[in-house]
Chains A and B, each alone.
Chain A
Amino acid sequence: MQRLQRIRSKVAPLLVDNVDTDQIIPARFLKVLDKHGLGQHCFADWRYDAEGRPLASFVLNQARHAGAQILLVGDNFGCGSSREHAPWALLGAGFRVLLGTSFADIFRNNALKNGILPVTLDAELHERLAERLARHPELELTVDLERCRLEVPDEASIPFSLDEFARHCLLEGVDELGYLLARAPLIAQYEAERAARLAAEGTP
């Protein structure tokens, strides 16, 4: 997993609520054996017309948002299917930070496991950012995970929260599996104790 400490970037706005993972990466692109190459299909059905030509109206096709690593999203982003192909596709399309008012549970988990930081903003700030971006699409934000702060030009820096463990994993670029593997003795102990308890009750 790629580490994430501090990112300064333009912001692409995708202000639709309840964006489901079928939109982020349609099911026909799930027949893959690895995690790479999905960026080109990210939001495929919103991004290309029937002939596969980019639609100028869609944010990911607009030159002024090219290279953005931050995506400003709506409420309940990532609902629906648990496909981890969704964060793989977003990562492939260059996004490392998502700013929204809420995220679907499984998607949020999956994003964090792939070096993508979902930041939950209060509605008022979210609206203000959206308005500023509409007027100044070139606006650059800084997301500082060391200090858990979002820096917006001409505003006091804004604190955000992320649980300590997820923050540690992102900052160091380590995944959770190492942590779990290191606790194999605890797992073995749990298995033994539970097996004994169940056997005492007469069940396997």
Chain B
Amino acid sequence: MTARTLFRKLWEEHVVSEAPGVPAMLYVDLHLIHEVTSPQAFAGLRARGLRVRCPERTIATMDHSTPTVPGGLAVVDAAGRAQLERLRENCEAYGVRLYPLGAPENGIVHVMAPELGLSQPGMTIVCGDSHTSTHGAFGALAFGIGTSEVEHVLATQCLLQRPAKTYEVRFDGTPRPGVGPKDYILALCARIGVSGATGHVLEYTGSAIRQLSMEGRMTLCNMSIECGARAGLVAPDDATFQYLAGRPFAPQGAAFDAALRRWRRLPTDEGASFDRRLELDVSTLAPMLTWGTNPGMGAAVDAPLPRPEDHPAGPVREALEKSLEYMGLTPGEPLLGRPIDVVFIGSCTNSRLEDLRQAASVMRGRKVPPQVRVLVVPGSQQVKRQAEAEGLHELFRAAGAEWREPGCSMCIAMNGDELLPGQYAVSTSNRNFEGRQGKGGRTFLGSPLTAAAAAVTGRVTDVRQLL
């Protein structure tokens, strides 16, 4: 048999039919939905008089518009509340399991599904949300879809898809202190750009990936979409299996052992070839920070800002000028030491227990300056409970940070947690697009360590100085 990549195996397992001139019909094992991208899909079903084909394969959560202050639905604005209520009605009408606001399982879709053991190796996983790539950390083919496709999956459990090309990114070496998976992925985005992997599924390989926890792999896969990739993958290994063992939706007992045998066949075969390859040595990386208005506009935290005039006249130079102007930054100057207004520690990229522990390790015994606002937003109720059991909430509060309820929060600024025009934030989220964290807000993306360093100094800081 020919050697196959992990992607190829996942793809072939899920092809329902292929015909010339038509995209393949791909079967979806797990469909996740949330309040923002699902109402029109259910409305479509209703208009056509269709049912949900496999209600047990769809799981719903509330995360984007949910408040991160206590009070539940009562403190959500009318439009957000209407969406949340519509999700509840739709789930009831069509028999879809929903983990609503306040439920012990509730959380950001890409945090709660893995921690419940829903996301498993060998699956196809989709959600009307581009960061569905997160679940690729388990060796699942996981990708974001639009609302029309949400409707297709609800009605048929299938999608029409064309096969992607494959792209291996190999991370080797041992990272220096202060450097971790968020820095790896920001470095990759900076290296290949925001369209560097368009049309491709990335597979992250190499010794540095094997060393990562599942949380770290999720951080990495989460941002695959930020370099344009359709999905990101990490082959499952013992770390994956240990993570899954005993989780509520993971197979149990003999079924788990049988699943293990199947999962162990998933990794890319020796000799399989990729359409593209890239190697990065993580031992050469510094903590990364973005300075611009897309995730590819990043550099080592201690690097000077780029100078547009170093580039020939053309779109690259114009983009640099436009970004630096929006960000209110001076070409060539250092970013280090720049005062910031807000620090956001959260989002589906970096709101898991490991992320919060990292941030806490820097904030322990230090104080947030009074002019700086620091939000720590756990990714799920479970993360919140775990963090509180360890006393992390007390530690954050003692430092002067706000310890909030779970949700997407200031990653997308739909729930009232937002930057004011002109404010600067260091954020552990995944997008620094203009206005993403609030109209006119300016975002520097970095790791939980880098965000914590900014929190306790009130400035862009190289966390290595605080370790």
Interface residues of A (CB under 8 A from B): 15-18, 20, 22-23, 26-28, 30-35, 45, 50, 74-76, 79-84, 87, 102, 104-106, 109-110, 113-114, 163-165, 175-177, 179-181, 183-184, 186-187, 190-191, 194, 198, 201-204
**Alpha-carbon gap, A151 to B61, bound state (A):** 48
Binding stretch for chain A, among B97-105, B232-240, B253-261, B457-465: B253-261
**Alpha-carbon gap, A201 to B258, bound state (A):** 6
- A31 contacts B195, C-beta separation under 8 Å: no
- Using known A-B contacts A33-B39, A33-B83, determine if residue A106 contacts B130 with beta carbons closer than 8 Å: yes
Query: Across the two chains, which residue of chain A brings its CB closest to B44?
Result: A177
Query: Across the two chains, which residue of chain A brings its CB closest to B17?
Result: A186
Q: Tell me whether B435 is interfacial, beta carbon within 8 Å.
A: yes
Query: Across the two chains, which residue of chain A brings its CB closest to B129?
Result: A82
Query: Across the two chains, which residue of chain B brings its CB closest to A186?
Result: B17
- Using known A-B contacts A18-B294, A102-B198, A180-B25, determine if residue A113 contacts B148 with beta carbons closer than 8 Å: yes
**Which residue of B16, B36, B53 contacts A190 across the interface (Cβ within 8 Å)?**
B16
**Which residue of A23, A28, A181, A191 contacts B414 across the interface (Cβ within 8 Å)?**
A28
Interface residues of B (CB under 8 A from A): 16-17, 21-23, 25, 27, 36-37, 39-40, 43-44, 48, 50, 53, 64-65, 77, 79-80, 82-83, 86, 128-130, 144-149, 151-152, 155-158, 160, 162, 194-195, 198-199, 225-226, 228, 230, 251, 254-255, 257-259, 261-262, 294, 296, 315, 318-319, 322, 412-414, 421, 431, 433-436, 439-440
**Alpha-carbon gap, A81 to B226, bound state (A):** 9
**Alpha-carbon gap, A181 to B45, bound state (A):** 12
29 residue pairs from A and B, CB less than 8 Å apart: A17-B315, A18-B319, A20-B433, A23-B433, A27-B414, A27-B436, A30-B64, A31-B77, A31-B79, A31-B414, A32-B83, A33-B43, A33-B82, A33-B86, A34-B39, A82-B130, A105-B199, A106-B144, A109-B149, A110-B148, A113-B149, A163-B23, A164-B21, A164-B22, A177-B44, A179-B22, A187-B25, A187-B158, A203-B255
User: Which residues of B have CB within 8 Å of A110?
Assistant: 146-148
**Alpha-carbon gap, A163 to B435, bound state (A):** 35
- For the complex with contacts A31-B79, A34-B39, A80-B226, 14 further pairs of A-B residues with Cβ separation under 8 Å are A16-B322, A20-B433, A22-B433, A22-B434, A32-B39, A32-B79, A79-B228, A79-B294, A82-B146, A110-B147, A165-B23, A179-B160, A183-B25, A183-B158
Query: Across the two chains, which residue of chain A brings its CB closest to B42?
Result: A33
Of A15, A50, A80, which is in contact with the most chain B CB atoms at under 10 Å from its CB? A80
- B152 contacts A79, C-beta separation under 8 Å: no
**Which residue of B43, B80, B157 contacts A31 across the interface (Cβ within 8 Å)?**
B80
